[in-house]
């Protein structure tokens, strides 16, 4: 019996690895992968690369309809990592060695380059608060915007919103703060929460990871104290008496497969690829 | 005393039975209240039959998604239902006693694997396989249907097997005694006798296929355009809701909830027509 | 010596009988090719199903086991060590509580439909249709509804309770439908015998009908457990994603949500894979436990 199980497991191992290794052979067609309509990453991406065009006063998203759409960074990365011909874009904070970030107009995608404006593709991390802010929530916001909080932002690969923030002054508050919203901001928010709870032991912070819209609506409806949105607020949202604060900036990296020879793309090339003008890797205009 | 107890319990049973009615009522109420106004604003025809989905430009046509949902579910049924039915026959009638227990727990295990795990399995194993064999991106109608076909297996096998087992053994033996082969007895006597249970299982499977989201969005490509072929990507209604709900606001969000309403009505239609079919078959018998 | 030879003899005989029955079977398939093809297809389908299963399980194990470290099971979750212990406990709580609420309702409803309702009763039709409708509703729609109703309208906030109630509605039709089939499968002769012995209807149901229907009901409950453990879309908007073990009105994540959250930004993919292994083991354990429980119920 035991032998059988071992045998079955071995077969499964061989099977899985066999499939893992066949992923090669380049046909040359560019497989474009994009984020979903309305996503903060996509919004910033199409705007900065001019994929969004203005016609008759309306902004039109020109992303090719042939692009595969995903709503998750990890699916984007897994797809690009497994497909030599794929190209996509992700948050700089999530970048790792399974995929390769290309230089844009010669500038490497790093936090420093975003901070000094040589790498221009970035988006804001917003937090929003409703009309009534509890003392504890206000204190947590103060902490995030303080020197210590901003340092944590930078340590995690994001870009400070306020380079000259003042040190945090501990306040005598207690209670519970619920923070909800964008999954892009959640990782850094958890770091902030841990650091803050270490300084101010009377306050507990809960981080609810969902998405930007849920974060903003929750803040408006009072379900949470602080909402997180990894995009600019829409007009309907600013009308809801919310206060938005930018706590950090996040670069957006254009990523390709590690086997792909492309190292450097110009903004025009990226635009041509994502609007569907260029469909073959060989056709990339120099 | 006993009578009161009997009557009391009957009422308890009835109230329990009405729980699902209440649930559906509440869901209808909340969904329709937030979805119908949006359909009204967009225009029902434009919403249902428009082929352009560009929320940032206020174009909300979900026809491509409706078609895609039908295609993907149809494909999943084609892949999953025959395999599931035959496997249940195997489990109920052919399986050697020694390996029955492990196989049975295997199928139960399959039902408990979260859909994201299926999704990653599809993304890492099936999508590259399709890409290597047939070309294209791999994220496609084919990938989605195959993956869903696999996912609905345990949903159908479990109830179908127990339906087959509940057919009295005398049916089987009687058929054998009349000179029919084992297979003939199973497929011509046992399967028809277990029809109502099997149909219920298949409906459950279809429900799971049409409603599955987390796995489908990883392998379907999610292009919001009319489906272009079996190797091209498409976007189902569920995928439309999940991918965009996270960032949608205002009209866009309402249009997504309205997509949910359409999906809901869709499932209503499927269920009604299936129960009609079932009743007709019963009457014919 | 003689007995030995006899034993040997009978063994040979039985072997002969076995092989002859196999050739008989094959010969019969030659005579009835349709039957042969069906038998072949049945075997093929079974092999396919289990090949996929082994492949899937193998994939999960290979991806996850190397990252299954003891730190993953520490009681505190923090951003350095994304422990899955709180989610494991939450999953257990939610599964048990959901079943405690949903199973009685579902089984009682099935009892009503099978044992009490008259055929052609309008109420029964409505109940059937609504149950089927419920079973077809996508989990994301349940999630939206749960958020609109339990979280916002009832003011529960994102909480385990909101998650549990949403799950109850979700698995209810599953339990109802399978229990109904199981009850229907109990032969009428059982009931008649019980009535004949002077037992009342209620007594007949609880002591005769229900125990014989336990395996079928259990099949439904196991499916329900599977759905509860694997659910993400419906819980994302109802129970929330905080990594803690809360009281019922607080927010907490289940294992599947834990995995979703870990993998969504691509920062903790390895731990997400390890979580998948834990989910698998969890499902196995719960299935095994419910099998044991069913045996005991069927006996008692």
pLDDT of residue B87: 94
Letter string b/e over residues A196-211, b meaning 16 or more CB atoms within 10 A of that residue's CB: bbeebeebebbbbbbb
Determine, for residues C242 and A186 on separate chains, whether the beta-carbon distance falls below 8 Å: no
Determine, for residues B244 and A37 on separate chains, whether the beta-carbon distance falls below 8 Å: yes
In a domain, A169, yes or no: yes
Q: Report the number of distinct structural domains present in chain B.
A: 1
Determine, for residues C141 and B263 on separate chains, whether the beta-carbon distance falls below 8 Å: yes
A21 pLDDT above the threshold of 50: no
Percentage of chain C lying above the pLDDT 70 cut: 90
pLDDT of residue A115: 83
Residues A243 and A272 in one domain: no
DSSP string, chain C: -HHHHHHHHHHHHHHHHHHHHHHHHHHHHHH-HHHHHHHHHHHHHHHHHHHHHHHHHHHHHHHHGGG--GGGG-S---SSS---HHHHHHHHHHHHHHHHHHHHHHHHHHHIIIIISPTT-HHHHHHHHHHHHHHHS-HHHHHHHHIIIIIIIS---S-HHHHHHHHHHHHHHHHHHHHHHHHHHS-HHHHHHHHHTT--HHHIIIIIIHHHHHHHHHHHHHHHHHHHHH--HHHHTTT---SS---TTS----HHHHHHHHHHTTS-HHHHHHHHHHHHHHHHHHHHHHHHHHHHHHH-
pLDDT of residue B79: 92
Q: For chain A, what's the residue count?
A: 286
In a domain, A108, yes or no: yes
Report chain A residues whose CB lies below 8 A from the CB of C58.
9, 11-13, 15-16
Q: Do the Cβ atoms of A217 and A229 come closer than 8 Å?
A: no
Size of interface A-B (CB pairs under 8 A): 114
Domain that holds residue A115: 28-122+252-283
pTM for the model: 0.80
Question: Which CATH number does the domain housing residue A198 bear?
Answer: 3.40.190
- What is the band of A256 on the pLDDT scale with cuts at 50, 70, 90? very high
C97 pLDDT above the threshold of 90: yes
What kind and span of H or E run contains B262?
helix B250-284
In a domain, B28, yes or no: yes
Residues A101 and A174 in one domain: no
Which one is predicted more confidently, C207 or A25? C207
Most confident of A230-244, B121-135, C284-298: B121-135
Which one is predicted more confidently, B274 or A228? A228
Question: Which CATH number does the domain housing residue A106 bear?
Answer: 3.40.190.10
In a domain, A14, yes or no: no
* Homologous superfamily assigned to C76-299: MetI-like (1.10.3720.10)
A15 pLDDT above the threshold of 60: no
Q: Do the Cβ atoms of C239 and C257 come closer than 8 Å?
A: yes
Residues A179 and A138 in one domain: yes
Looking at CA atoms only, how far is residue C2 from chain B in angstroms?
A: 33
Residues A104 and A221 in one domain: no
Question: Which CATH number does the domain housing residue B268 bear?
Answer: 1.10.3720.10
- What is the band of A181 on the pLDDT scale with cuts at 50, 70, 90? confident
Residues A198 and A92 in one domain: no
Percentage of chain A lying above the pLDDT 70 cut: 89
C297 pLDDT above the threshold of 80: no
Q: Chains that contact A by 3+ CB pairs under 8 Å?
A: B, C
Residues A72 and A142 in one domain: no
pLDDT of residue B35: 84
A255 pLDDT above the threshold of 90: yes
Residues A134 and A56 in one domain: no
A166 touches B at CB < 8 Å: no
Question: For every residue of chain A, which 3-state class applies, written as one string?
Answer: CHHHHHHHHHHHHHHHHHHHHCCCCCCCECEEEEECCCCHHHHHHHHHCCCEEEECCEEEECCCCCCEEECCHHHHHHHHHHCCCEEEEEEHHHCCCCEEECEECCECCCHHHHHCCCCCCEEEEEEEECCCCCHHHHHHHHHHCCHHHHHHHHHCCCEECCCCCCCCCCCCCCEEEEEEEECCCHHHHHHHHHHHHHHCCCEEEEEEEECHHHHHHHHHHCCCCEEEECCCCCHHHHCCCCEEEEEEEEEEEEEEECCCCCCEECHHHHHHHHHCCCCEHHHCCC
Residues A127 and A117 in one domain: no
Q: Report the number of distinct structural domains present in chain A.
A: 2
C8 pLDDT above the threshold of 50: no
In a domain, B177, yes or no: no
Report chain C residues whose CB lies below 8 A from the CB of A190.
78-79
In a domain, B183, yes or no: no
- Of B155-164, C45-54, C290-299, give the lowest mean pLDDT range: C290-299
pLDDT of residue C21: 67
C17 pLDDT above the threshold of 60: no
Which one is predicted more confidently, C119 or B33? B33
Mean pLDDT across chain B: 86
- Of B189-198, C79-88, C96-105, give the lowest mean pLDDT range: C79-88
In a domain, B67, yes or no: yes
pLDDT of residue C12: 45
pLDDT digits (tens, 9 = 90+) for B55-107: 877 889 999 999 999 999 999 999 999 999 999 999 988 888 888 888 888 88
Determine, for residues A69 and B223 on separate chains, whether the beta-carbon distance falls below 8 Å: yes
pLDDT of residue C54: 92
- What is the band of A25 on the pLDDT scale with cuts at 50, 70, 90? very low
pLDDT of residue A227: 92
Mean pLDDT of the B124-152 span = 88
pLDDT digits (tens, 9 = 90+) for B215-251: 888 888 888 888 888 888 889 998 888 888 777 777 8
pLDDT of residue C109: 92
In a domain, A157, yes or no: yes
**C-alpha span between C252 and C263 (Å, rounded):** 17
- What is the band of C300 on the pLDDT scale with cuts at 50, 70, 90? low
Q: Do the Cβ atoms of A221 and C152 come closer than 8 Å?
A: yes
In a domain, B185, yes or no: no
Q: From the list A65, A69, A212, which residue is nearest B247 (CB)?
A: A212
The two three-digit tokens of residue C210, written as one number: 């229900």
pLDDT of residue C10: 46
Looking at CA atoms only, how far is residue C246 from chain B in angstroms?
A: 23
Residues A155 and A234 in one domain: yes
Report chain A residues whose CB lies below 8 A from the CB of C263.
72, 74
C125 pLDDT above the threshold of 90: no
Mean pLDDT across chain C: 82
pLDDT digits (tens, 9 = 90+) for A147-177: 989 999 888 888 888 878 888 888 888 888 9
- What is the band of A88 on the pLDDT scale with cuts at 50, 70, 90? very high
pLDDT digits (tens, 9 = 90+) for C139-196: 878 888 888 888 878 888 788 899 999 999 999 988 998 898 889 888 888 888 888 8
Mean pLDDT of the A116-145 span = 88
Determine, for residues A210 and C269 on separate chains, whether the beta-carbon distance falls below 8 Å: no
A286 pLDDT above the threshold of 70: no
Given the structure tokens 């509580």, which residue do they identify? C97
Mean pLDDT of the C1-19 span = 46
In a domain, B181, yes or no: no
- What is the band of A7 on the pLDDT scale with cuts at 50, 70, 90? low
Determine, for residues A61 and B243 on separate chains, whether the beta-carbon distance falls below 8 Å: no
What is the pairing mode between strands A31-35 and A86-91? parallel
- Of A214-218, A278-282, C118-122, give the lowest mean pLDDT range: C118-122
Determine, for residues A74 and C241 on separate chains, whether the beta-carbon distance falls below 8 Å: no
Q: Complex ipTM, two decimals?
A: 0.81
C213 pLDDT above the threshold of 70: yes
Interface test with A, best of C265, C268, C284 (most A CBs within 10 A): C265
Residues A144 and A175 in one domain: yes
**Cα–Cα distance list, B137 to A28, A32, A109, B219, B254 (Å):** 11, 9, 27, 10, 32
């Amino acid at each position: 019996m035991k032998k059988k199980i071992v045998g079955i497991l071995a077969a499964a191992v061989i099977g899985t690895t066999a499939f893992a290794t066949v992923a090669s052979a380049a046909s040359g067609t560019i497989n474009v992968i994009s984020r979903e309509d309305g996503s903060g990453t996509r919004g910033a991406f199409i705007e900065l690369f001019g994929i969004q065009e203005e016609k008759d006063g309306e902004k039109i998203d020109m992303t090719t309809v042939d692009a595969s759409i995903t709503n998750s960074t990890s699916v984007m990365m897994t797809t690009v990592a497994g497909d030599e011909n794929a190209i996509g874009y992700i948050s700089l904070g999530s970048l790792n060695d399974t995929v390769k970030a290309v230089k844009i107009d010669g500038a490497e995608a790093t936090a420093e380059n975003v901070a000094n404006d040589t790498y221009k593709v970035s988006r804001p991390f917003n937090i929003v608060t409703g009309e009534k802010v509890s003392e504890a929530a206000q204190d947590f916001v103060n902490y995030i915007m303080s020197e210590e909080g901003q340092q944590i932002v930078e340590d995690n690969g994001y870009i400070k919103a306020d380079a000259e923030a003042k040190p945090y002054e501990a306040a005598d508050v207690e209670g519970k703060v619920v923070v909800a919203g964008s999954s892009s901001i959640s990782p850094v928010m958890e770091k902030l929460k841990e650091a803050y709870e270490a300084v101010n032991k009377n306050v507990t912070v809960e981080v609810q990871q969902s998405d930007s819209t849920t974060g903003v609506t929750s803040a408006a409806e009072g379900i949470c104290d602080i909402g997180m949105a990894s995009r600019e607020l829409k007009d309907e949202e600013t009308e809801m008496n919310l206060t938005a604060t930018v706590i950090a900036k996040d670069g957006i990296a254009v990523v390709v497969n590690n086997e792909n020879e492309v190292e450097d793309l110009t903004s025009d090339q990226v635009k041509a690829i994502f609007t569907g003008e260029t469909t073959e890797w060989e056709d990339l205009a120099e | 005393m006993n009578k009161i107890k009997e009557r009391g319990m009957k009422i308890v049973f009835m109230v329990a039975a009405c729980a699902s009615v209440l649930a559906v009522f509440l869901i209808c109420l909340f969904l329709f209240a937030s979805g119908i106004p949006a359909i009204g604003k967009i225009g029902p025809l434009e919403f249902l039959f428009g082929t352009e989905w560009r929320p940032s430009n206020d174009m909300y046509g979900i026809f491509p998604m409706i078609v895609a949902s039908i295609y993907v579910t149809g494909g999943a049924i084609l892949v999953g239902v025959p395999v599931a039915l035959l496997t249940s026959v195997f489990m109920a009638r052919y399986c050697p006693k020694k390996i029955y227990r492990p196989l049975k727990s295997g199928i139960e295990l399959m039902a408990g694997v979260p859909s994201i795990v299926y999704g990653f399995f599809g993304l890492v194993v099936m999508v590259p396989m399709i890409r290597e064999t047939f070309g294209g991106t791999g994220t496609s109608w084919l990938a989605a249907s195959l993956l869903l076909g696999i996912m609905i297996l345990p949903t159908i096998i479990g109830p179908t097997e127990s339906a087959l087992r509940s057919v009295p053994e005398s049916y089987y033996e009687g058929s054998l005694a009349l000179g029919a082969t084992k297979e003939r007895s199973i497929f011509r006597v046992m399967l028809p006798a277990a029809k109502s249970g099997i149909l219920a299982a298949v409906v459950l499977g279809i429900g799971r296929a049409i409603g599955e989201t987390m796995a489908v969005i990883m392998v379907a490509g999610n292009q919001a355009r009319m489906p272009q072929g079996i190797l091209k990507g498409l976007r189902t209604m569920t995928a439309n809701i999940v991918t965009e709900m996270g960032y949608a606001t205002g009209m866009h969000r309402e249009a997504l909830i309205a997509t949910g309403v359409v999906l809901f009505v869709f499932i209503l239609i499927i269920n009604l027509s299936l129960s009609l079919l079932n009743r007709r078959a019963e009457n014919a018998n | 010596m003689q007995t030995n030879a006899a034993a040997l003899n009978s063994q040979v005989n039985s072997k002969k009988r076995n092989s002859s029955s196999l050739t008989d079977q094959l010969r019969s398939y030659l005579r009835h090719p349709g039957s042969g093809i069906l038998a072949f297809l049945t075997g093929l389908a079974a092999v396919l199903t289990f090949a996929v299963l082994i492949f899937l399980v193998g994939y999960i194990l290979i991806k996850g086991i190397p990252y299954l470290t003891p730190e993953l099971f520490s009681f505190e979750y923090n951003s350095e060590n994304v422990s899955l212990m709180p989610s494991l406990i939450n999953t257990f709580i939610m599964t048990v509580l959901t079943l405690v609420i949903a199973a009685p309702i579902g089984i009682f409803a099935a009892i009503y439909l099978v044992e009490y309702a008259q055929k052609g009763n309008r109420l029964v039709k409505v109940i059937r249709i609504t149950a089927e409708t419920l079973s077809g509703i996508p989990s994301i729609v349940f999630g939206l509804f749960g958020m609109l109703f339990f979280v916002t309208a009832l003011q529960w906030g994102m909480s385990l309770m909101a998650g549990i109630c949403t799950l109850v509605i979700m698995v209810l039709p599953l339990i109802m439908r399978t229990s109904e089939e199981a009850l229907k499968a109990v032969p009428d002769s059982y009931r008649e015998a019980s009535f004949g012995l002077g037992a009342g209807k209620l007594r007949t149901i609880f002591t005769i009908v229900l125990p014989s229907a336990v395996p079928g009901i259990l099949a439904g409950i196991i499916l329900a457990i599977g759905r509860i453990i694997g659910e993400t879309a419906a819980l994302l908007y109802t129970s929330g994603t905080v990594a803690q073990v809360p009281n019922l009105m607080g927010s907490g994540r289940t294992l599947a949500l834990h995995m979703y959250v870990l993998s969504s930004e691509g920062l903790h993919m390895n731990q997400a894979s390890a979580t998948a292994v834990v989910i698998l083991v969890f499902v196995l354990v719960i299935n095994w436990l419910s099998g044991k429980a069913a045996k005991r119920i069927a006996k008692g």
